[in-house]
Each structure stands twice: as C-alpha cells, then as structure tokens.
Amino acid sequence: MPRFAPRLLSLPRRFALVAVIIGVSATSPRRLAAQPSPKVARAVRVSRAPKIDGRLDDAAWTPIPAVEDFVQRQPLEGQPATEGTQVYLAYDDDAIYVGARMRRVNPRDIERAVTRRDGAGTAERFTITFDPQMDRRTGVGFSVSVAGVRSDYRHTRDADGDGRESQFDPVWSAAAHEDATGWTAEMRIPLSQLRFPKVAKQRWGLQLERWMPDKNEVVQWAMISPRETGFISRFGTLEGLDDLTTTRPVELVPYVAGDATRRATSVANNPLDRPFAGRMGLDAKMAVGSSLTLDATVNPDFGQVEADPAEVNLSAFETFFDERRPFFTEGSEMVRGPVSGYFYPRRIGAPPRGTASGDFVDIPRASTILGAAKLTGRLPSRLSIGAVAAVTSDEQARVHISDSSLTRSVAVEPRAAYGVLRLQQEIGKQASTVGVAFTTVQRQFSNAPSLASLLARESYYAGADWRLRFQQGKYAITGFVAATHVAGDTASIRRLQLANTRLYQRPDRRNAMYDPLKTSLSGYSAQLRADKDAGRHILWGAEVKVESPGYEVNDLGRLQSTDDVEYNADIQIRETVPGRILQNWRLGFDTRGAWNFEGAHQLNTWAQTTNLTFKNFWSANVRNQIELPTIDDALTRGGPYMGTPKRFRQELRLSNQSGARTGWRVNGAWGTDEFGAWRRDAAAQLTLRPSPRVSVSAEPTFQSGVDPRQYVTSIAGGTRTYATRYIFAFIDRTTISTKLRANYAFSPNLSLEAYAEPFVASGHFSRVGELSAPRSRVLREYGTDGTTMTTDSVGTRTITDGTQSFTIGNRDFNILSFRSNMVMRWEWTPGSTFFLVWQQNRRTAEAFGDPARASDLFRTTRASGDNFLAVKVSYWLPVRLGGRR
C-alpha cells in the first residue's frame, strides 16, 4: 500500500461536506424542467445583395419576414424585452446578410463608445451566432455596435464566456446607423468564412442577442436561463439556406516589417550594435474539407503584442504569463482541451536559455519560429481536432572580446521541433466527451552541444480525458489520466531531478529517488471530479488529483510542483431570481488539502465566499480563508521538511455595473499568520470615457507585508539539519504599480492605444536565522543561541557559530521599472493591417532596501532601458483554387 494511502483513508471525513451537498441536492427535482420547443427562423434567398451601409433601407430587405420575439435574459429572466428588436436574414451565392432594427423609446440613452475591432466596450450592440455544423457544440458569432465596431467570436465548446474565443478574425463587413427610433445595423458575412456541411438543405443553430448597457438588459431570441448549462446546445434553428455554393479560397497574408532599437547599454564603439532590422513573412489559412481549417505561418512576427507586466519573483517557481500571440491564441481551446498544463504555447519561441559572456554580448530576445502549422475543426462525426506543429531555429549569441578584436558565436538555444495533437469525440445524447492528447519536443544539439546538459533531448506526453454528462448537463463526471517521459544527457536529467518542481535530493526522503546517472525521467498524473453544474439553488463539486514525482511537462507545458495527492470540494448556494434588494447572490464553502507520496500533509485550507449583485448591478464579493498548520517539502528548496503556521486571509472586492460609462473596481486583502507575518493588498481600477472615442483607465496596486520565512540560501554546516544550514530571514516587502491605458478610436478601423506601467518594489531582510531541526517551524535566529552576527557597511553579514564562520551577502533591493507600449492600428483594407509600435522597457536595481513609496513611480521614467520602434504592414490576399462547389 502506498505511504499516502492511510492519509487517503481519512478522506471520507474530509468529504463530510460533500455528503451534505449530495443530501441537499437530492431534495431538488430529479429531472430538469421541460424545455420549450426550439425556435425556428428562416433566411430568404435574394437576387440582389443589399448595400451594407447600416440604414436598412435597401429594397432587398422588403419581402423578408422579421424575427422579433425577444425576451430578457437579464435583469428579469423570461420577461418581454423593454425595447423592440427586429432581425432580417437573407443570403445569396456569396454571403449571408443580416439586417437589424434596434428600437429605443429614448435614443439619447444609447451608449455609443467607439473602439477598435473586438473592443466594443460599453457600446450597445447586436450579436448573431451561428452553429453551421448543427453539432450543438461549436459556433461562430458576429457582433456590431451602434458605433459600427465589429467583434467576432468562435465557440469551440458548448459554453459562453470561458468557451468564447475572441482571436477569431474572419474577413466580413458591417455598418450601423442611428435614426429617430433607435439604430439599425447591416452585416455581410461571406460564406467562405464559414464551415458548413455539403448538403442541399442546410439547418443551422441560431442565436440572436442584444445588449443595452444603460439598462443592463440582455435580450435573446432563444432565451438561455442562467441556471442552465450549455450555450450552443440551446440555440434555435435557422432554415431556408438551400443550395449554398461557395469557393474555399486560400487566404494569404504576407507582411513586411522593420524595427529600430536603442539600447540602454549602447556605446559608440559597440561592434555588435544593429539598431535597424527588417524581415518579412507569410501567414496562410485554408479550408480542409467543410469542417477543418489549416493555418500556417512562416517567420511570424509578433512585434505588436503587449509586453508582460513587471514583477519581482522571490519564490522557487516560474511565473506563467498569458499567451497573446494571435497564431497561438486562435483555436487554442481545441488544442489545449480541459486538462491544464500540458500545452503552454509560450514555450515555442521563448527567450534562449543559454548564456554568453564577453565585453559585448548580443543575445536574441526570442527564439526564431521558422514555421508553424495548426489544424483545427470538428468533423460531422462529432470528432474535434486540434493540432499544432512548429520548428524553431538554433540561436547564437554574438560575443565580442575587445582585447582580441574578435567576434564569435556562442550557442544559446538548440533547434527544436514541437508537436501537439488533441482529439475529442462527443458521444451519446447528453454531449459527453472522451479525448486524447499527445505532445512531443525534439531538440537537435549538433550545433549546440554545450546545451545538451541544460535541456532534455526529447519529451513526450500522452493523456486521455473524459466528461460524462447526465440529466442534460446538470451533473458531470470529469477526469483524466496522463503519462510523461523525458530523455536526455545525464546532466539535463540531473537538473530535472534537482529542480524545485520535484527536489529528489531532499535528505529526509524515505525513498531514495535521486540518481545522477539517470538519462530519462517518467511519471504520471490523474484526476477524477464530480460536479453538479445546474439547478435552482445548489451547486457542488469534489475532486481528487494525483501527480507522481517523475511527472514532467515543462518542455512544452507548465508545471510548478509534483509529488502531490490533492483534493478539493465545494458547495455553492445561490439565488438567481431578483429580489427587492439583490439581483442575485451566491454563498460558497470550499476546502482543499494535499499530501505528498510519503504521506506528509502539506495543505489544509477552508474558506467561505459570499458574492452579491445588487439591483443596480453593483457587486460585492467577500472571501474568508484559514490555512491550518502542516509541513512543507519545498520551503527549504532541497532540504528537509519544514513546518508551516496557521494562516488567515480575508478578501473584499467591490465594483459597479460592467456597462457603466464610468467604471470602477476596488479590491482589498489582508492576512496574518501565527509567526508574525502580515500582508496588506489594495488595488483599484477606474475607467473614464470622456467622449465616445476616448477611453482612459488607471489601475493602481499596493502590496505591503512582512514574511518571517523568506528563503535566503543554504550553506554547508548545521549538524542538526543534515550538515547543511537552511537559512531564512524576515523580509519587509512593498510593491507599488499603476497600469495606465489610453485609447483613441479615430474610427472602428483606425485606433491609437497606449499602455504604461510604472512599477517599484523594495525588500529589506532582517532577523536572519536557520531551520532549527527537520520538520520544525522554529528558526534559530543568528545573534542568539551561542551565535554572533555582524553587518558591514555594504550590508554583508558575517555569522559565527562555534568554530565555523560564514557570510551572507546583502539581499536588500529596490527595483524601478517602466514598461510602455503604444500601438497605432489601421485596417486599411479588409483583412489587411498597418501597425506602428513604440515600446519602452526601463529597469534599475539598487541594493538599498528602503521602503518603496508612491512618489518613486515618477522616477521610473528616468531608469535606463531600451526603446523599440517597429512598423509592420500586412496584406490579405484571397487566392481562389478551382471553381464553386
């Protein structure tokens, strides 16, 4: 029996909460209420296409019947819409045409914000969503605001919100116009941008929706209750699309780009300076049959992508940032699937991991992606496919030694090939799914033999997952099993064993796992979860997850720690029917726990959450959490177990309605522990729209606190802790930053966006000491217990313990950072874009440790750093292959 098994036997007591959940939910009806008959709309073929000017006065619309039976989804679910909406649907051999009239009793109340494409913001808008495959799971949405701003979405699963992908950018047109009765809109959606089956008589899923932000009113044609699961599966039906014909063009988007860089380290005689650079590349998109889409890119450029926020990471683990590159975000849901972590696309084209030194060094900022391809879509058999393949170049740093006047190349990243395949089959009438996923990374070290000790030669992941739905999605059982294998040089596998992810070298491990001669590493992970996702009042979930010590996905995925057996359970009690004061409310309780494979209890938290939405759509969220004492195998970063204290944390968040012309949000959090730690966090966001074309926002944050157990280093010695001293200190930290944004939309196709983040952080170390004994929570503070400690003028500490003396360098810090990004974006012709980009990255580090102050934010603009100016022009070129089908 595994050592953690006795601990797992106590899980029934831990899951007493789940018993309460099931008991309470059992009192609810066993079947969902009968669903109303699906709605049906008809499109009419027209002989002459209407002019798309937004006025809805073209004769082509005259014989088309209006769709106008809309009801509220919010604020009063199921009630008639307060304003009239009529929609007209037409088509010809080339496109689908949508006309809509949105009536308003008081047109002056209409919100008219102008933004760039996909940023409709607070403007009133109309959205049409199609399910062309009629698979009741996937769909594409097209939206236009009263200001004529277009937005488009792809739904890769049966969900709105988190199932919506906004990086879907088809080529289509729309226009809007205001009049005395409200506003009108027209759309032209080319059939070439849609994927539908080859049948004479089409039947598509259809949803029509209108949002009026001044009223916080959402009206839908096929109303979907907030208490129900699913989105696409609850659509109405669109009929009348007969004998559709279309060409499937290959869409080519070549680009040319140039940039100029002015570096802070630039000097007049730097022989490696290359202030100007140019490049070109190509993106391509084509249909594969009627259901799949193939995207390809050669030498892609992402210079317009916003920089990551600044941070000071004192933890043992990597920070993961969101993916923003369009090629990897579009269709990502079909590639990633429901299992988190196995695919983190930022591994492809990441900064080189190797280092180089010399008088002058030029290291590439990112690995060059020579080419990449992606296949996504869903077959009529209900099989979803997502696949990505990419090849990155080996990267060389240029190094110049002044004395020899020679410039040489140093390998900093090997050539690599990446592959991801994700298949998911929908089964049964409940839309349950089963899926598999595979990933691989292959590196070639022929041009970079020195890097074989740093990176694995090959990496593999294979997994299977399932989501079994019951009672129309009211209940679900989900889970996965996965295995990994990594192989390479003994030095690279040794790095993986010693990494903070698994820490095989821990001296108090009961099972010796570290083997310096290993050339491979294998592991597994599994999860099982049960949920109640729908119902009037009670929702719940419970989960168990296991990650073996050898599990490893960081070559193409993301993983912080392994050697875990985790559980969590939650219950939520909610009311979605508006009351006298509240629009809706939710009360939740959750618990989490974790052990490692040796049975050490490492996490035990309990929390309560309250979410309130008031009648004016202001919201308040409160969370209270307690974490009970356990022991931790990672705090000493390769040393023995260390005890953790009891911790308390409270959080509060307040915000006004999302559609308000002036939006605001405030967050606060505070926490303490029994060792004397404390933390205070505060954040706010204010968004102002002084005119329909202008939006400005500020998001200040403040974090301050003391941590009495900040890891510092480990030094030989310490007879009580396996001949090594594991040294910690009190750290007094302060972080202050402000994210500033300003957007000006000249038109929906031409915009200027500016982003800036001044950031300051400080840290002062004091009360240095070492772990007194394995599994202890107590530090042996230097300067007591027979030890002495002196500090010199530069902050270096000298500690004497008996006959041994050692030093610890000054770890205090003050960081000043300023990052900014200004982008002019012009869609100068459909599908073709011009970008002008200016980026700054300034940073200065000082070893003072003085508390950071808000006034220091103004000093960040004077920090040294780089300036980057880039220009990029792309052109959309549809190439027709063959005739119509």
Question: What pLDDT was estimated at residue 268?
Answer: 62
In percent, the amount of the chain with pLDDT more than 70 equals: 94
What does pLDDT average to over the chain?
Answer: 91
> What is the distance between the alpha carbons of residues 855 and 843, in angstroms, rounded to a whole number?
16
Can you tell me the mean pLDDT for 303-312? 82
Give the single-character DSSP code of 301: -
Question: What pLDDT was estimated at residue 120?
Answer: 65
> What is the distance between the alpha carbons of residues 476 and 468, in angstroms, rounded to a whole number?
5
Give how far Cα 61 sits from Cα of 100, 127, 236, 640, Å: 10, 19, 22, 76
Cα 561–Cα 476–Cα 332 angle in degrees, nearest 5 = 55
> CB of 628 within 8 A of CB of 36?
no
Question: What pLDDT was estimated at residue 184?
Answer: 97
Can you tell me the mean pLDDT for 465-490? 95
In percent, the amount of the chain with pLDDT more than 90 equals: 75
Site of tokens 């089956």? 197
pTM for the full model?
A: 0.89
Domains, in order of start, for the chain? 38-242 (2.60.40.1190), 317-562 (no CATH)
> CB of 43 within 8 A of CB of 631?
no
Name every residue whose Cβ is closer than 8 Å to that of residue 691 and which is 6 or more positions away in sequence: none
Can you tell me the mean pLDDT for 716-735? 95
Can you tell me the mean pLDDT for 324-329? 88
In single-letter form, the type of residue at position 15 comes to F
Task: Determine which of 278-292, 638-652, 803-817 has the lowest per-residue pLDDT on average.
Answer: 278-292
Question: What pLDDT was estimated at residue 361?
Answer: 86
Question: What pLDDT was estimated at residue 380?
Answer: 87
> What is the distance between the alpha carbons of residues 632 and 103, in angstroms, rounded to a whole number?
62
Instruction: Using CA atoms of 495, 499, 504, 505 in order, give the dihedral in degrees to the nearest 10.
Output: 80
Complete DSSP assignment for 254-281? EEEEEEEEE-TT--TT-TT---EEEEEE
- What is the Cα Rg of the chain in Å? 30
Question: What pLDDT was estimated at residue 26?
Answer: 41
Can you tell me the mean pLDDT for 507-517? 89
Task: Determine which of 92-101, 151-160, 365-374, 644-653 has the lowest per-residue pLDDT on average.
Answer: 151-160
- Reported as a single tens digit per residue, the pLDDT across 376-388 is 998 989 899 999 9
Can you tell me the mean pLDDT for 93-110? 95
Give how far Cα 66 sits from Cα of 61, 89, 201, Å: 10, 8, 21
Question: What pLDDT was estimated at residue 271?
Answer: 78
Q: Are strands 95-103 and 182-190 parallel, antiparallel or unpaired?
A: antiparallel
**Strand positions, DSSP E, 803-876:** 804-808, 813-829, 832-846, 865-874
Asked whether the predicted pLDDT for residue 403 surpasses 80, the reply is no
Position 19 confidence tier, pLDDT thresholds 50, 70, 90: very low
Question: What pLDDT was estimated at residue 164?
Answer: 78
Position 12 confidence tier, pLDDT thresholds 50, 70, 90: very low
Can you tell me the mean pLDDT for 353-365? 88
Question: What pLDDT was estimated at residue 163?
Answer: 67
> What is the distance between the alpha carbons of residues 856 and 198, in angstroms, rounded to a whole number?
64
Position 20 confidence tier, pLDDT thresholds 50, 70, 90: very low
Question: What pLDDT was estimated at residue 50?
Answer: 96
Can you tell me the mean pLDDT for 145-161? 88
